[in-house]
Amino acid sequence: MKKLFLFLIAVSISAATFAQTKWNVDPMHSFVNFSVKHMGISFVDGSFKKFEGTVTAAKEDLTDAKISFNVDVNSISTSVEMRDNHLKTDDFFNAEKFPKMTFESTSFKKIKGNTYVLNGKLTIRDVTKDVVFAVVYGGTAKDQQGNTKAGFAATTSINRFDYNIKYDPTAAGIAKDIKITLNLEFTQAK
């Protein structure tokens, strides 16, 4: 009986030590933005209004984090309805056939201080490519309700042609490079 008791204590300690902490994106305090050069002289900015994401990690510095994120393509907003509707067509995202963009992390490495590099697989339309985000970890804080929050800012740039977004193949009107900026706040699951 004593051995069984000691075994159960050891298992409990091991489970607590390696317990995964899950964080869910807080859409009220998060933003998924993009920017693309227009006609070589200015920029068009936009965002996606509906998205979900999770971070799961056991280590306090999050270097073992697994990050999963998806974006509802139909929630695109550039503040111009006609342009938004065009972006949902097959010229760009084909939101009817490919309603979600997804991201799955492959690694999350601490560089120095609060800077990290996030590697993963980004899927847009029917194409999945490796992508690298530069991440600044803002730290954690408790909100007024006692929830633990974590903040991140992540940036990358992708070539839209890599994802079969071929409209304006000369890139004279719409540049090929798209800058992506994510300002994300996560809530620790209870």
Domains of the chain listed by start with CATH number: 20-188 (2.40.128.110)
112: Cβ–Cβ under 8 A, 6 or more apart, which residues? none
Could you report the per-residue pLDDT of 123-149, keeping only the tens digit for each? 999 999 999 999 999 999 999 999 999
pTM to 2 decimals? 0.86
d(Cα 41, Cα 39) in Å, to the nearest integer? 5
What percent of the chain lies above the pLDDT cut of 90?
Answer: 86
CB 162 within 8 A of CB 176: no
Alpha-carbon span 6 to 15, nearest angstrom: 14
* 6-41 tens-digit pLDDT: 444 444 443 343 478 999 999 999 999 999 999 999
Task: Look at residue 148 in the predicted model and tell me its pLDDT.
Answer: 93
Using one digit for the tens of pLDDT, what is the confidence trace for 88-117? 999 999 999 999 999 999 999 999 999 999
Q: Which residue has the tokens 């929630």?
A: 75
For residues 115 and 63, give the distance between their C-alpha atoms in angstroms, rounded to a whole number: 11
Q: Which phi and psi (to 5°) does residue 181 adopt? A: -130, 125
Q: What is the mean pLDDT of residues 166-175?
A: 93
Provide the β-strand partners of residue 23.
Answer: 55, 188
What is the model's pLDDT at position 161?
97
Q: What is the mean pLDDT of residues 47-65?
A: 93
Residues 26 and 52: beta-carbon distance below 8 Å: no
Q: Are 96 and 57 in contact (CB under 8 A)?
A: no
**pLDDT of amino acid 15:** 39
Interval 63-90: pLDDT, tens: 899 999 999 999 999 999 999 999 999 9
Mean pLDDT across 31-53 = 96
Confidence of residue 49 (pLDDT cuts 50, 70, 90): very high
Specify the pLDDT at position 68.
97
